Structure 1
Amino acid sequence: MDIQIACTRNKLETRKLTSSSNRPREDSWLKSLFVRKVDPRKDAHSNLLAKKETSSLYKLQFHNVKPECLEAYNKICQEVLPKIHEDKHYPCTLVGTWNTWYGEQDQAVHLWRYEGGYPALTEVMSKLRENQEFVEFRKARSNMLLSRKNQLLLEFSFWNEPVPRSGPNIYELRSYQLRPGTMIEWGNYWARAIRFRQDNNEAVGGFFSQIGQLYMVHHLWAYKDLQTREDIRNAAWHKHGWEELVYYTVPLIQEMESRIMIPLKTSPLQ
């Protein structure tokens, strides 16, 4: 009988220790859901998170193309968009242009950089209205589209600068709709998390929205192929600290989406 009592007591003590050791993690999970960890600030998150050394503004365009028109759409884009990119008359560069491979089908994605911020964007738009070739291009393009939307973005200060790269590569655009008020918290975590994803040069760029759908974050990655993507992402889980950063950022997300994209032949990101 004494032996049974002793065994029961040991089980209870073990259970209590296990419960006690789990409680901090459970408390942290609850806090991550309901408690904001960032002190109130008197400055816009764009001033706190964006690159200070540049004043670049980015435009991300999503064009949903009629399936039967995708080939013709790609053809006119490859004829016209590089001319704007190469013309020093326009203070903008084409960072990359892709077709979505996995994700929303028959979709084109374009990423532009405007050196000089909003004034550069205004200048480019004004000059393009006087560019007869571009006016004709837009008219022809409109007949090929089902829908289109865009966002104006800034780049996170701690992310890589998106620069041209040789291929062949596939690209993943991971888009996160954050809970309002969590952008600075997201930035604080990812400023540490990005170091876990630099070993294979897969990090291309990280951006957050200013106009369009707000509290949107976009991470752009490059991989040799889908298997390489899988291997690199799995390897991150073996690095101490990665799982904790994922654990705390997940509650900040309302929705997320992944697109696998193939660059067009004229894209600076290949």
Structure 2
Amino acid sequence: MSKTIIDKRPALFEKTDCNIWTDPYIGLQMLKMHLNPDFDGASRQQESVRKTVDFILKYIKPTGGLLDLGCGPGLYTSIFKDRGYEVTGVDFNKASIRYAVERRHDIKYILGDYIQEYPQGKYDAIIMIYCDMGTHSDDDRDKLLKNIYSSLNDGGVLIFDVFTERIVCDKQETKNWEYAPSGGFWDENEYLLLSQTFHYPENKAFAYQYNLLTDNESKHFIVWDRYYAEKEITDILKDTGFRQVAIHKNILSDNNFTSNNEMFIVAGK
């Protein structure tokens, strides 16, 4: 099988056929990272999860329907279910959803892409944690926000986090090769990985491009990080219809996530 390395700057918000969240092997590695309580690589550490939940509880009704977009293996959904909420979780990592379903039969889990197949129903609170909003193009973000707004009950709240403009202090354009003779995160067998970071300052976005070469094939992945100015994200939400938008910073302690420069947004319908 021929192998191709795509060594060029991607078009803004370019998508690839391969996806790190839906790739069967990488999806399992992502699940392991989610479940590591001492690592921020896929879900934040337990202390940060607790702080995030405490923050969210200040702004949502004491009971009601809650939707977790990008729920992973259910770290947040389980806590909110135990607090009395009727919880739905959505994610397109098959390994994470399988784990979540096996762990809690009293929570509704949906395997799917919430951009293309937004879950039906009405909710009092919708959460989207770990800067997932920034992984989407502006067009997909706007489509998602419209669906979120429509699915919220009157008085409902959307809470999510995104990177601030200060992420540029933590990131720079890079190009690196990695050789794994015995396999690793990207494949169980020997592989060579080209990792590249590209910055699009005029669009407030970073692209992380990966070329994975194994004995049998090559795979091409791109992950996006869209960051925002406070006024920009506030105006986007108000244009969608949200009446009240509040920005909160310094909710979490330093961690080894992509950047510590995130802000939490509370948007009320």
TM-score range with shorter-chain normalisation? under 0.3
Higher radius of gyration, 1 or 2: 1
- 1 or 2, which has the higher helix percentage? 1
